[in-house]
Amino acid sequence: MNKYVLIFVCLFFFLVTSGFSNIWIVCNQHSDGSHYSSVQSAVEHAEAYDTIYVKGSKMNYGNVLLEKPLTLIAEGSMNDEVPQNSVKLTRVLLTHNPYLKTVSSGSSIIGFEFPYFSGNKPNIVSIPNPRVRIENITIERNWVWFIEIPSAARNWTFRNNIIRGWVNGGTETSRRHGGFELFHFHNNIINTIKGFENSEVYIYNNVITGRLKNVSGAEVYNNIFSRDAYVLENVSGCHFRGNVTVSDKLANDECYSQPKRFEGMNKCTGENNTGSGNLVGVDPGFAYWPSTDVLGGSVFKLNNGSPAKSAGAKGQEPGIYGGDFPFPENYFKNQEMYDPFPAFITSVY
């Protein structure tokens, strides 16, 4: 089957099942069949709920300003085909347009590579406005450094991403104006999740190479904390179940009287955490560790004799290959993923 026919078959199925309308193809190199050479131009001319399909390229497509609900899909992310080049964006800003009365709520960003910026500047960021809440956002299959959500927000999903730095939640101002709630983290390789206090957060089946920081009121199920040092900082009111930690030190030495349950004593910041069925201070038994093949996530597969294999809640496998959204190991294989991944594994933000 011709690869362009295959692309359109996959996109057609996606659009029919999700209710989207027009498809616009973008390529910044010579390409038959493309509509635009700039992602931003395609975004500006698209109607709400259209799909922007972006072809792989050696060149970065630059910044994108989203002021309406659109789906941005990188080549290769809808099937097992690996494009010759990855699809690179510099930054995506999610916001609203007060003149057109449009907002980026309902947008999806799927399958892109983002570069590192000095000073830990974010690759995906919502622009704060106390009167507009940005909601129903999906971030999926991206290779990204930092994500900041300083605006009022609701119902964001992070699924099957490699997040080398952090996802940082909203500010106190955004919580007071418009709300800040309902965030889902499913089957990501992620360094740090922070700034989600009283925000209704669900953290399921991730490999967390750093820690949770300033998080409260979260459900934390079936994750593997791979860091050989403390993994919680100012975490309270959370329920932990079926998690595995390499380190036997969850936080300060005196903070956790019952580490296997993640329960904290009253004098510590972790008080009121609850949980059961967690494995603390246990080697999860990664099948290919140590390895440099983190692009595909296969380094985090559990071997058959792993003590963690069925240690998750409801007998499920913890980590990125368990749960409802197993990690797509064949997707992250492009050799243009130029950043040295071992630094991501050892760094904590």
Which pLDDT tens digit goes with each residue over 264-320?
A: 766 665 568 888 899 999 999 988 766 655 656 678 889 888 988 888 888 889 999
DSSP 301: P
Distance CA 64, CA 93 (A): 6
pLDDT at 55: 93
pLDDT at 98: 84
Distance CA 160, CA 322 (A): 12
pLDDT digits (tens, 9 = 90+) for 137-181: 999 999 999 999 987 899 999 999 999 899 999 755 555 555 678
Degrees to nearest 5, angle at CA 315 with 327 and 264: 95
**H or E element that contains 175:** helix 172-176
pLDDT at 122: 93
- Other C-beta atoms within 10 Å of 167: how many? 26
pLDDT at 333: 62
Q: pTM of the predicted model, to two decimals?
A: 0.90
pLDDT at 201: 95
Distance CA 329, CA 332 (A): 6
Distance CA 329, CA 296 (A): 4
pLDDT at 1: 47
CB 186 within 8 A of CB 323: yes
Q: Of 88, 80, 75, 59, which Cα lies nearest the Cα of 339?
A: 88
pLDDT at 131: 79
Residues of the chain with pLDDT under 70: 1-20, 31, 79-80, 171-179, 252-254, 257, 265-271, 289-297, 333-349
Tokens of 59: 């060149």
Distance CA 251, CA 230 (A): 5
